[in-house]
Structure 1
């Protein structure tokens, strides 16, 4: 079973200018630390595997760092409320629900060589443990039968990746455990252990069952990720079928890590699918998320018939759609790309659907699988960082994602559970995409905007892609906005390095002025560049001594042209600036003279506050002023303006006049308008000639970031 996939255009149905109805949109995000209640919330929490009660009113998720299961009241799904955590006296790895009882796999292993665990039955309302069955090893995934009659547990007994080059062949072997449910709780006396040895061609002595699911007929499908094998087991424990998950050849991928560029020109052949999550679509077909582990990961997903035949394989199409949405995680290129890990299946209305979660891209692909041989990708949904588990609740038109990454230790965003509603509405995401381009365009880390005309903008990427600085042409006459071209920025015919593009302005003659933020600790200068229409740098303006002597790390963040003068916003205070005052630096193109004024920053409650953009419009310059906080800690994300009559530069090195600013837009309501948390970096602002303002956020190249890019228009801002 080997399939080859070439560079294909995306099959996503979100074509430019076509409104979508019957779509999913995110309506709420719940940070899991809220379930701690009155305790110390500055500790790591995580939402991993998630399930819902039969009435769809309560969610239960596993929280491995806390050793607990968390509960959320979604009676009002747009306003989820914490119901608290239940201590599991071990590491919860998976959860399923029958009635009001949660069945939880709990890992209690002392070591890799002495694995152990238990299956706990917990009253969801009271937290009381109703039963506990000792398991023959370390549980990874569990599933409950649709009729509530039994539970299947994948006993992985995972390997120690620091031994034997991280390969399989480390005993004890994993297995499958089946436990009957009686009177609503697990009947431990009925436990059946199903051996999985001597089935796979890869490490047959060391099966590592990863994920399980049960269809309406009571058949259990088991993925053995490291063994690249699938097993179908009857409810009586008899093995009905087993087969290799097969291999795939991929062309047109980025398979090189850490080169700070999106280049989809490589190939890999004979890649084992190595499926992680698996879910039945119906009684004879199931879908796998091909994350990969030891040798594989095919960046996509597959539909299998229970007899082992492949009905459909996504090849590169799923990853390509994610690339076009700006969510490609470049630092994972040499590993598994977008890393599909999770699968959920459900029928909404009359449409059977498969939901595919890309762990490293933090996206959910929504597929219409009415035709199993030709699924249609109808949507891509933004998730929190590291979507690990999903639960669909068709009776309430809801989809829920559990996102495991919590960056509290680094001052970043918390783990979230996100809720999406299926309704007769237009899709709100993605807001900008390259799906309309003639060729595949990868993009991310957008850091500046400028308007060419009423329907065309240009955007730039920052130093995250330091070997691929690019000017993107954006068509804003369609929804979502379309990146239709990518112009490399070059120096002497090669990609321009040692620059960090943070601001761009049109020069009125087909070219651009670009502000580059330096890294003086890396010998990267703060500078202004002129770039021609073809992307070639033809002029560099370095800093004068009066600025070189006081420069600091956080430098040029925006640029605009007023008459013959370029104005550049310096993000934060430099050595000669008083606290709370940042420079707006002027350079006269005719005389070569430098000058500046001071801009008064807000006082930060936490972290720092600085400038991210400057753009002239009418009688004002408009600026983005923001703190460096994310999520609930964000306070200042705003657009301000200063009248041009105050923008009279004084000579450098002396006292600078302090301009008066006017706050014209609090951006936090905009940043929460799609049900997500407040993103950190609002980076770009521009005005079209007709006065429409556009704003964009920087997604940090999908590195410790959800990858979400918000791009939206504001009318009347310049009134």
Structure 2
């Protein structure tokens, strides 16, 4: 398939991106654009985080942790006119509800304990009458819940965050709930990988908390499951890795270190300062990004599961342990950073937030390399080997700028901050939808060729999109594909539909 190379001049920087040729467009009429069809406000900060849709009852379930921890239930029979029906209160079950998922008339909710370091719960409700079906104890701080495509398994990613004083650091874990076995649960930890910690770290995996062991330091974040319901992949965000889980044997079989992003190349040039009074992209040697993906989705083609990740980045910041400093506040090795103190000025790299847990390669107290958190991108990984096969480089920030949505105040941190992701098929083509928390947007990519995603368009969302779900036409209430985006800062849920 022929591609054209589009050259964009932006702020004095040449931006190259691959686009479909006119021949490709003319031979495939299914080239879609999307438009907003509805918006519903559920409150303020924290009022709209993760959503799940039930096709049997045409209800949308939305995590709402604003003034009261609850799940809002919305009538979505007409997605152009959603209506709040009722709410399921979480007080009887614990603390915050972090995630919801739906399958076969069941709603699963991941609920943390009031003491975040204690084991949490996965509570299953009937989507028709909202009655409780089952409570299942899972690991500490269940942050995400999902069903297998066949609806027989529920999984939770249990983050296991430490207490603020780091005196209690529960194991990060993954819980597998077998519905057909009476909701029997098996919770997996990472103790089996403890002997390989040094090998994993050498390849870019992070074990770095206060007094950390790999078993306690691992923090599972998000899950995706293969179409045949036999394999799951779980992002380990703070650790910069992905775990692979065999659902037949219920064992963690692999941990893939994700390595680092090289910010010395033109394609990875970014704006690294929020105090330079402009958006100016630059590249620097000895500066790297830690991918640290949040959401993950799988699309299988040609016998290969391709994993799509939103490379948000996340720092550990506790009273007893905080990893972040700005470049202006650290000591540089001037043998590696030859321009010396000029780099520490605010319009250069002085404002850039970096981790202090990496970069002092010779142990002499100064930094030989700099590592910022997040990749500011979407990546594609081979789910069998963990090898990266594609990265959007700096395109997401560029597209945010072109759309007039880029937030320069976040240049020193994670840029557009890709966080959520979903994939789905429309007609004969596959798409990835990437939610960008700081630019309040969703970027749409055509991933029909998974090793060469092609940017399609940018959608303006609510403030800080958190949950991204795609409802295929065959499950949609109006027979059309839907993209539903829930935003945590303003409590707004928006629906988008494609137009041809």
- What interval of TM-score do these two structures reach, taking the shorter chain for normalisation? 0.7 to 0.9
**Aligned-partner SS, 1:322:** helix
Whether the aligned pair in 2 keeps the contact of 1:400 and 1:420 (CA below 8 Å) is yes
Whether the aligned pair in 2 keeps the contact of 1:303 and 1:313 (CA below 8 Å) is yes
1:259-658 equivalences under 5 Å are: 259-267=276-284, 269-282=287-300, 284-294=305-315, 295=355, 296-306=373-383, 307-395=385-473, 396-406=480-490, 415-424=491-500
C-alpha distance in structure 2 between counterparts of 1:352 and 1:137, whole Å: 35
In structure 1, the residue matched to 2:220 is 209
In structure 1, the residue matched to 2:120 is 117
Q: Deviations over 1:115-137 (max 9, x none)?
A: 22100001223222111111231
In structure 2, the residue matched to 1:46 is 47
In structure 1, the residue matched to 2:155 is 152
Change in 2 beyond 3 A, CA 1:134/1:217: same
Shift of 1:417: 0.3
1:632-711 equivalences under 5 Å are: none
**Aligned-partner SS, 1:365:** strand
Whether the aligned pair in 1 keeps the contact of 2:150 and 2:228 (CA below 8 Å) is no
C-alpha distance in structure 2 between counterparts of 1:23 and 1:389, whole Å: 20
Shift of 1:63: 1.1
Shift of 1:64: 1.9
C-alpha distance in structure 2 between counterparts of 1:45 and 1:423, whole Å: 31
Whether the aligned pair in 1 keeps the contact of 2:432 and 2:444 (CA below 8 Å) is yes
Change in 2 beyond 3 A, CA 1:107/1:368: same
In structure 2, the residue matched to 1:577 is none
In structure 1, the residue matched to 2:84 is 82
Q: Deviations over 1:619-677 (max 9, x none)?
A: xxxxxxxxxxxxxxxxxxxxxxxxxxxxxxxxxxxxxxxxxxxxxxxxxxxxxxxxxxx
Whether the aligned pair in 2 keeps the contact of 1:10 and 1:320 (CA below 8 Å) is no
Whether the aligned pair in 1 keeps the contact of 2:221 and 2:237 (CA below 8 Å) is yes
In structure 2, the residue matched to 1:193 is 187
Whether the aligned pair in 2 keeps the contact of 1:338 and 1:360 (CA below 8 Å) is yes
C-alpha distance in structure 1 between counterparts of 2:152 and 2:408, whole Å: 45
**Aligned-partner SS, 1:253:** coil
35, 41, 58: which one aligns with 1:31: 41
C-alpha distance in structure 2 between counterparts of 1:418 and 1:92, whole Å: 21
105, 110, 119: which one aligns with 2:110: 105
In structure 2, the residue matched to 1:564 is none
C-alpha distance in structure 1 between counterparts of 2:46 and 2:139, whole Å: 28
**Aligned-partner SS, 2:459:** strand
Whether the aligned pair in 2 keeps the contact of 1:59 and 1:74 (CA below 8 Å) is yes
Shift of 1:266: 4.5
Change in 2 beyond 3 A, CA 1:333/1:397: same
Q: Deviations over 1:417-459 (max 9, x none)?
A: 00001122xxxxxxxxxxxxxxxxxxxxxxxxxxxxxxxxxxx
86, 98, 122: which one aligns with 1:93: 98
Shift of 1:277: 0.6
TM-score (norm 2): 0.73
In structure 2, the residue matched to 1:142 is 145
C-alpha distance in structure 2 between counterparts of 1:243 and 1:44, whole Å: 35
Shift of 1:196: 2.1
Shift of 1:212: 0.9
1:256 aligns with 2:236: no
Q: Deviations over 1:193-228 (max 9, x none)?
A: 111243652212410001111111221100000010
C-alpha distance in structure 2 between counterparts of 1:30 and 1:194, whole Å: 38
Report the aligned-residue RMSD. Answer: 2.5
C-alpha distance in structure 1 between counterparts of 2:148 and 2:30, whole Å: 35
Shift of 1:170: 6.6
C-alpha distance in structure 2 between counterparts of 1:121 and 1:137, whole Å: 18
Higher RCO, Cα 8 Å, sep 6+: 2
In structure 2, the residue matched to 1:247 is 260
Change in 2 beyond 3 A, CA 1:152/1:20: closer
The aligned length equals: 389
C-alpha distance in structure 1 between counterparts of 2:21 and 2:35, whole Å: 14
Shift of 1:21: 5.4
1:126 aligns with 2:129: yes
**Aligned-partner SS, 2:250:** coil
Change in 2 beyond 3 A, CA 1:211/1:329: same
In structure 1, the residue matched to 2:235 is 223
What stretches of structure 2 of length at least 5 have no aligned partner?
A: 1-12, 208-213, 316-354, 356-372, 474-479
Whether the aligned pair in 1 keeps the contact of 2:422 and 2:468 (CA below 8 Å) is yes
Shift of 1:50: 1.0
C-alpha distance in structure 1 between counterparts of 2:423 and 2:459, whole Å: 15
Whether the aligned pair in 1 keeps the contact of 2:60 and 2:75 (CA below 8 Å) is yes
Q: Deviations over 1:254-299 (max 9, x none)?
A: 1113444222224472211011111111261110100011342010
1:8 aligns with 2:10: no
C-alpha distance in structure 2 between counterparts of 1:20 and 1:290, whole Å: 29
Higher Rg of the two aligned structures: 1
**Aligned-partner SS, 2:179:** strand
C-alpha distance in structure 1 between counterparts of 2:299 and 2:464, whole Å: 24
C-alpha distance in structure 2 between counterparts of 1:117 and 1:85, whole Å: 21
Whether the aligned pair in 1 keeps the contact of 2:62 and 2:73 (CA below 8 Å) is yes
Pick which of 56-65 and 290-299 moved more: 56-65
